[in-house]
Every structure is written in C-alpha cells, then in structure tokens.
Structure 1
Amino acid sequence: MAPDSKKHLASCHCGSVQFEVRLTDEFNTIRRCTCSYCRMRGAVAVSAQLDGINFLKGEETLTLYEFNTKTAKHYFCPVCGIYTHHQRRSNPTQIGINVACLAGVSPFDFAEVVVYDGVNHPSDASSGPLVAGILRFSPT
C-alpha cells in the first residue's frame, strides 16, 4: 500500500469480509459504468492500486464473477451478496472499490458521479474512456 495516503476501513454488509484500502486519489476517481454488469449492479466505485487493499477477514471466502473477456474480476461476499471490489478491465493494475463498503461513506455523499461508457469499452477502442453522463444526487 502507498504509505502516503489515508487508510480506509471497509466491509461487506454482514461483516464476513473486512479490509482496509488506500485509495489512488481519495474520492477524485469516483465513477459508475454503463456496462451490462455495472448497470445491473448499480454501485459507485473509487480507485485503488492492486497493492492498496489489505484483507483483515474473509478474503478466502470471496466469490469471483467474470464475464465476456474475463479480464475484469468482480468480487462479492457469499454470505450477504454485497459487491466489495473488482479488478478493472480498463486498467488491470487498479481495483474499483464499492464506496458503500467504506466505513462512514455513502454513494449519496457525492453530488455528482461521472458515468463511464462501459458498453463501448475503452479497451475495445483507441479513443480512451468515454463519459456517458453525470449522475446527480440532490437531497430534498
């Protein structure tokens, strides 16, 4: 883990999986994606390097889901079903962390979240990541 960044505690809903993570650029990398899996999952993710995650409990119990190119590796708790993180297809040296798993953080803490075009994945085109839109939350 990068020693110069803040360590965040995280867990799934039931606590079977617990970990600490150092984010790449704190919450400046927050995003959603329009690929078929992310669209159905609906999670907001933030970036960390592969070596930025340290499991405290339950790593061996995580369930892995892969599809299509099988480059991205999506992990979730087999007890409560919560998606905790995934290794990115767009950058396999990074992981996306479900912000809802971070202690004291909610996806609704962010007024705007960039939504990337995962249907037209940057790994399939030379144009790089394309923004599909902005997700906005306005509390009433």
Structure 2
Amino acid sequence: MRAVLSGANLDGHCLEMLRSTFDRFLDLETRRMSKRLLTGVRHQKQRIAALLGLLSDLDQITETETDHTVFVEMALLFEEISRTATVAAASLREVDVVKANETPPVDGLKIVPSQWAPHCANGK
C-alpha cells in the first residue's frame, strides 16, 4: 500500500494526509489483532487451569490402583494440556509478529490498487 501511495500523483499535503491515515489504520489493526490473540491465550490459560484441577485426582492414585482406565484418562489430560499450551504459544508468537509490524504471508492474496483518487490529487 505504501508503494501505491508513493507512486500516486498526489501533492505533498494529500500524500501526507493519506500516509497518516494509513499509519493510524495500521496501528488500530495491530492493536485489534493483538487484543484478539491475547484474549485467546487467556482462554487457553483458563482451559489449562481447569485441566490441572482435574489432574488433582492424581494425588489420590496409588500404584495399587485397580481401575486401569484412570491412567489412560490422566494421560489424556496431560496430552490435552500439551495441545492447549502449543496453541497458546503459537498465538503469543503471532502477537510478536503483529507487534513487529510484519505481515504474515497470505497465499493467493493480491492487493489490487483501486482507481480512487482523493479530491486533493493533482489534476483533479
């Protein structure tokens, strides 16, 4: 988008106004994406806390446990914690990318500049 703005036939004031608007938009979009990702991470944290609560039963299990399904259930809880933590870690890494103003690649997406020109464009 910046390349399109730089190549546009706009006077200095108009170009600066568009750049400023574009920068504000990027800032708001960065904040929106970061907030959404952090909300998801907090949800994952709550999920892990709930799973840890279910694992508290592990303290009462002994080596003489006769119900062997208990061990399978506990193993599944640990696996779910692992998956949940992996999702949360990926989201936190994405927040870092967003905050660094890097745009993650989106396959097949091409931005086509419009034919719109503001009233302050040269010759208009």
TM-score normalised to structure 1 length = 0.17
Question: Which has the larger helix fraction?
Answer: 2
Question: Which has the larger strand fraction?
Answer: 1
| Greater RCO (CA < 8 Å, at least 6 residues apart) | 2
TM-score normalised to structure 2 length = 0.19
